Structure 1
Amino acid sequence: MDRNNEPTSTVYYLAAMAYDHLGDHAGLDVSELYEWAVGQLEGKKINYEFFLMALDFLFLLERITVDEKGGLYVHKVIKDSQY
């Protein structure tokens, strides 16, 4: 973590915010999620490319998925009951 940045300005923080919100509001597209995030951090700017890096981070960790229409979802693992 960079000492000069506020915690709310990090990819990790934005990723956590997005992940938490998508858990309750599945199917949002990126622009809707971005608008929500901007509203949550009143008075602070969120660079759109930086926000996309946070979503890329979640996607690479297989925490979110994208449907064919561009809706974002928290990736849920279904456990096999045979084990």
Structure 2
Amino acid sequence: MILVDTNNKPQKTVYYISGVAYSHVKRRSNLALAELLDLVSGDLFPQKVDFQLFVLAVDFLFLIGKIVLNEEGELYAAG
């Protein structure tokens, strides 16, 4: 689910997870995808983030131009 509705927890939405992921990428550049998943899961969530939602969140950040992939396959904040 992308949008927050009244029947869902915001922690289980693409927008929320992408916001948390972007804050980590902005603070620390050159993060591997697995490392970013661990950071997002460890900081705010009592259990691991669903991998499919996490990938959708990262894809969303790529689509809106907030993160970029370098030649080594690491993520960093654009611009």
TM-score by length of structure 2 reads 0.88
Task: Determine which structure has more spread, i.e. the larger CA radius of gyration.
Answer: 1
Residue identity opposite 2:62 in structure 1: F
- Counterpart in 2 of 1:52? 55
Structure 2 unaligned regions, length at least 5: none
Identity of matched residues, %:
38
| Other structure's SS at 1:65 match | strand
Q: Give the paired residue count.
A: 76
- Counterpart in 2 of 1:12? 15
Structure 1 unaligned regions, length at least 5: 77-83
The two structures, once aligned, show a CA RMSD in angstroms of 1.1
TM-score by length of structure 1 reads 0.84
The C-alpha deviation readout for 1:12-58, integer Å capped at 9, x for no partner, is: 01101111111110000100000011101342331111100000000
Provide runs of 4+ in structure 1 moved above 3 Å: none
